[in-house]
A and B are shown apart, each in its own frame.
Chain A
């Protein structure tokens, strides 16, 4: 574990440099523990793949104090207990214009499109973290056989609800946005709803399955 300042108002606690369930569990557990028992001046604990960044008000506390709190009083051993008991199902439509990169993934994998879909839909994916766009979940891990790299030239517009693959990651565009992931399908489910008190459907630690509709 390594702790370093991210400027004078945040500290990052790093558990590793790779995508692993263990590092991600520790990150989510630490963020959750801090959110439940925030220290004075803490604004938010932001979990990522293998780290937590704690944002704080520097007029109330300082990096040295934050580091001591993290080093001395935080237990990340009890992994998270309250992830949803059921897996979240995301219906996706597969069609020519909703799956513009299916042929590209099939080419990459040297498989038939139907085989690519079978592999993609057979897996349960974990939400490792949110970022990039409001409610955008970085999920994994995609089967190596279909882990096609990002497009060389990103699209200027990817429609809302598009489900993409980028290497071993999969994700859903919650809003229309530029993007370079291989789009395999599209969902009508609302991933991000600014009018709701809980604007994002997915949270770190959730599990997701895609279901063809």
Chain B
């Protein structure tokens, strides 16, 4: 009834959809970077939408199943193998006791996810299983996983095998265009900067992590400097730094920021951003809030349909 961590990988943490209601206390929300991946593999296994998963990076975690259990992986493709046999993303699969899951080579994306049927037995902190590395709380002992850690499985079970078709899985790319809605200071961009923001590409620099991605690209300017005081920011907020470069806040973002808010990446496209690494690129496409809400609602309807289908098939 457990999972043994044979190798911890460079950064492997327990995450759910985030600690959503303590930002007023300065507690950063954390949670998976790629919410769509986590939600889809939990749906495959009949788990709750917010069930905790493991998020890993390359070199990735290597785990041994202590008991038979269905599991699923999704997100980045890092050449996963189960006891030496290549396995694919977006399918519910069966592990036997003693089976070893490892990730052999980066192929597409930065962050794969592992969910097990019935979930991991992780205590919640402030309502969430997500690991908060700054506070040293949540997840497993408030830290990333270590070699020889053992994570208990809550209700391991075998489920029927299902696969999610490509129509629902994210279209990952190393150079995606992500949609944004205008932020509080978007209207202050110079005409040249607005055009550059929406038509030039930006490169993800090596100074990028779960807190945020620093971008490199054409310098962006406001018409005039604006007096700013710190205000809340969120996952996907694009801030303009004093040197004219942009930063996109990601899952481990601080709760407040005092830089101009140029735009916010829409939630449907955050997974595309979540799978980027250093030297990958991104372009921005402006949509209205109505369009962002329409896209989000469409995903929710499809996820609901998927869950219903999986439950009917058993």
Chain A contacts to B: CB under 8 angstroms: 2, 4-10, 12, 14, 16-19, 31, 43-51, 53, 55, 58-59, 62-64, 129-136, 138, 175, 177, 192, 194, 199-200, 203-204
Contacts and interface: CB of A to CB of B under 8 A. Distances in A.
Contacts of A58: 267, 293, 296-297
Nearest to A44: B21
Contact of B229 (A5, A12, A17, A134): A17
A8 B234 contact: no
Interface of B: 20-28, 125-126, 132, 134-137, 142, 181-184, 226-237, 254-256, 261, 264-267, 289, 292-293, 296-297, 300
B240 to A, nearest CB: 15
A22 to B, nearest CB: 13
Given A7-B181, A175-B134, A131 B230 contact: yes
Given A6-B264, A12-B184, A199-B126, 4 more contacts: A55-B234, A58-B297, A132-B26, A135-B25
Name which of A47, A64, A194 has the most chain B CB atoms within 10 A of its CB: A194
B135 A134 contact: yes
Contacts of A43: 20-21
Contacts of A136: 26
Given A12-B184, A53-B231, A46 B254 contact: no
A12 B296 contact: no
Nearest to B28: A134
Contact of B25 (A4, A31, A199): A199
A10 B21 CA distance: 12
A18 B229 contact: yes
B304 to A, nearest CB: 9
B261 A31 contact: no
The 10 A-B pairs of least Cβ separation, nearest first, read A131-B256, A7-B264, A53-B232, A194-B137, A130-B26, A49-B229, A8-B292, A46-B232, A44-B21, A48-B231
B266 A7 contact: yes
Contacts of A131: 26, 230, 232, 254-256
Contacts of B261: 6
Contacts, number: 147
Contact of A19 (B182, B184, B229, B232): B229
Contacts of B296: 8, 58-59
18 contacts: A7-B237, A8-B267, A12-B232, A18-B227, A44-B23, A51-B231, A55-B23, A63-B293, A64-B289, A130-B24, A130-B255, A131-B26, A132-B256, A134-B27, A134-B132, A138-B230, A194-B137, A203-B25
Contacts of A55: 20-21, 23, 234
A7 B26 contact: no
A204 B232 CA distance: 13
Nearest to B138: A194
B212 to A, nearest CB: 14
A44 B137 CA distance: 21
Given A43-B20, A131-B254, A192 B135 contact: yes
Nearest to B186: A4
Contacts of B254: 131-133
Given A8-B267, A9-B267, A47 B293 contact: no
A134 B296 CA distance: 30
B67 to A, nearest CB: 31
B181 A5 contact: yes
A5 B278 CA distance: 29
Contacts of B181: 5, 7-8
Contacts of A46: 23-24, 232, 255-256
Given A5-B264, A7-B265, A63-B289, A135 B232 contact: no
A8 B227 contact: no
B236 A200 contact: no
Contact of B234 (A10, A47, A51): A10
Contact of B297 (A51, A59, A130, A132): A59
Contacts of A64: 289
A17 B225 CA distance: 12
A53 B226 contact: no
